[in-house]
Amino acid sequence: MAGGKMKKEKPQRGGAASSNPHYQGGISFHKSKGQHILKNPLLIDTIIQKAGIKSTDAILEIGPGTGNLTKKLLEAGKSVVAVEIDPRMVLELQRRFQGSPLSSRLKGIGAFGITIEIPEVDDLLAHNNNLSQRTEARVIQGDVLKCDLPYFDICVANIPYQISSPLTFKLLFHRPLFRCAVIMFQREFAMRLVAQPGDTLYCRLSVNTQLMARVFHLLKVGRNNFRPPPKVDSSVVRIEPRKLIDSFPYKDWGGLIRICFNRKNKTLGSIFKQKSVLSLLEKNYKTLKALRLSQKESSGDTDMAVALSALRDTGEDLSMEIDDDDYDDEDMGVEEHDARGSEFKNKVLGVLKKGDFEDKRSSKLTQADFMHLLSLFNEAGIHFA
Ligand SMILES: C[S@@+](CC[C@H](N)C(=O)[O-])C[C@H]1O[C@@H](n2cnc3c(N)ncnc32)[C@H](O)[C@@H]1O
């Protein structure tokens, strides 16, 4: 979770420190790492209850911080693997759980099992490079975006907001499939994840995430539940990943959705008349045609990870999507395709016409609409990747 503005301050002692929202137990919280600690025990209980954790569950927690959520996760599940980037927090977790009534269970994997392993400083690099081999580690010190995730049934986390998008897609690509992830996000990001056609926040992130998962908004969380309070509100979301379908053209889908949401409130007719779009599609079209002619047509995406990478790059959704109301066609760089390309342009517009998509806008289209549109383009030999 991120978004709160904090001034850099030196640690204080005594009463002053205990009332300072940027410190707790001698630890200063760093904005750069999105350190906003959950301080409301009732909220933590609600998250645990809504997560539907089973006593047999292996739980993944991302960013345990000082362990407020970790403690409840340990009580609810079979085991917890936590990934924490800040060595000070890892030490704090060790201190907290070794000194607690759970201490006898800290070294074993049991109902409350947690093993905290703190690598030697000069061993850190090797540790981070070999996380998958260090299966005994239960608190992994490292960047969750860079490490191999262990097996887990459920992920429950109050994350740093700045990694929301890459983390969401890392989880969606994670295999074997897990049951669900229950994650605290910045409210706006959460609303984008669950947005439906016609909602203001409906965007590429919504469409791509919902292709790969069922997503539910669980809980609104006010900023005063955190220490220090961030500048934005939060929401807890439940993500249930779907099985990937081998035959689905994920790469093509990613390309189509990227183009459609470049200006989501413009008509598709207007978007697909853009010179840059037509040039890209024509290039793909000619390349594929040449490949077919030389009988070297690819038999499809054998590497699903490569195919899915077209969906992954949605990190800019919060900042880069353009509100069309402020733009006219000149701003969009709409230019008539030159004469050589007019035949291809007619082909593209013919596809839109066939599906009655010319006057439709991406902001109102459902997953099924996009799938229909993609199949019409593909039937015409037009591909997006
Ligand atoms: C919002 S705090 C949550 C702390 C705790 N889970 C809680 O709810 O009280 C986010 C935590 O994620 C850690 N963190 C930040 N970036 C990280 C990353 N890339 N990988 C792993 N942990 C990270 C921070 O150090 C911090 O402890």
Q: 76-119 pLDDT, tens per residue?
A: 988 889 999 999 998 888 888 776 655 433 333 232 344 554 44
Closest atom, ligand 1, to C-alpha of 61: 6
* Residue with CA at minimum distance from ligand 1 atom 2: 35
Pocket of ligand 1 (CB under 6 A): 1, 33-38, 62-65, 68-69, 83-86, 89, 143-145, 158-160, 163
Q: How far is the CA of 89 from the centre of ligand 1 (A)?
A: 9
128 within a domain of the structure (yes/no): no
pLDDT of 200 higher than 80: yes
The verdict on 267 and 202 lying in the same domain is no
Name the more confident of 315 and 198: 198
Please give the tally of structural domains in the chain: 2
The verdict on 204 and 257 lying in the same domain is no
**Structure confidence at residue 268 (pLDDT):** 97
Is 40 annotated to bind ligand? no
When pLDDT is averaged across residues 25-38 and rounded to a whole number, the result is 90
Closest atom, ligand 1, to C-alpha of 83: 21
Q: Number of C-alpha atoms within 13 angstroms, CB side, residue 116?
A: 24
Is 125 annotated to bind ligand? no
When pLDDT is averaged across residues 270-293 and rounded to a whole number, the result is 90
CA–CA separation, 158 vs 162, rounded Å? 12
Q: Which CATH number characterizes residue 38's domain?
A: 3.40.50.150
* Residue with CA at minimum distance from ligand 1 atom 16: 33
**Structure confidence at residue 271 (pLDDT):** 96
The verdict on 275 and 154 lying in the same domain is no
**Structure confidence at residue 135 (pLDDT):** 30
When pLDDT is averaged across residues 12-33 and rounded to a whole number, the result is 69
Q: Which CATH number characterizes residue 365's domain?
A: 1.10.8.480
Closest atom, ligand 1, to C-alpha of 30: 25
Q: How far is the CA of 251 from the centre of ligand 1 (A)?
A: 32
User: In Å, what is the CA distance from 37 to each residue of 43, 63, 67, 153, 375?
Assistant: 12, 10, 9, 24, 47
Residue range 147-188, pLDDT digits in tens:
999 999 999 999 999 999 999 999 999 999 999 999 999 999
The verdict on 219 and 269 lying in the same domain is no
When pLDDT is averaged across residues 193-201 and rounded to a whole number, the result is 97
Strand partners, 186: 234
* Residue with CA at minimum distance from ligand 1 atom 27: 65
* Residue with CA at minimum distance from ligand 1 atom 13: 63
CA–CA separation, 158 vs 37, rounded Å? 8
The verdict on 78 and 195 lying in the same domain is yes
Closest atom, ligand 1, to C-alpha of 38: 9
**Structure confidence at residue 128 (pLDDT):** 42
Is 84 annotated to bind ligand? yes
* Structural domain boundaries enclosing 220: 31-114+134-241
Q: What does DSSP say about strands 139-141 and 79-84: parallel, antiparallel, or unpaired?
A: parallel
**Structure confidence at residue 50 (pLDDT):** 97
Is 158 annotated to bind ligand? yes
The verdict on 51 and 196 lying in the same domain is yes
288 within a domain of the structure (yes/no): yes
The verdict on 39 and 175 lying in the same domain is yes
**Structure confidence at residue 108 (pLDDT):** 31
When pLDDT is averaged across residues 356-360 and rounded to a whole number, the result is 97
Mutation test residue for ligand 1: of 43, 72, 86, 221, the one with most atoms within 8 Å of CB: 86
**Structure confidence at residue 132 (pLDDT):** 36
**CA-based nearest residue to 1, from 209, 226, 206, 317:** 226
Name the more confident of 87 and 134: 87
The verdict on 179 and 279 lying in the same domain is no
The verdict on 237 and 252 lying in the same domain is no
Is 198 annotated to bind ligand? no
The verdict on 217 and 255 lying in the same domain is no
User: In Å, what is the CA distance from 169 to each residue of 205, 267, 329, 363, 368?
Assistant: 10, 28, 33, 22, 21
Q: How far is the CA of 64 from the centre of ligand 1 (A)?
A: 6
62 within a domain of the structure (yes/no): yes
**Structure confidence at residue 17 (pLDDT):** 47
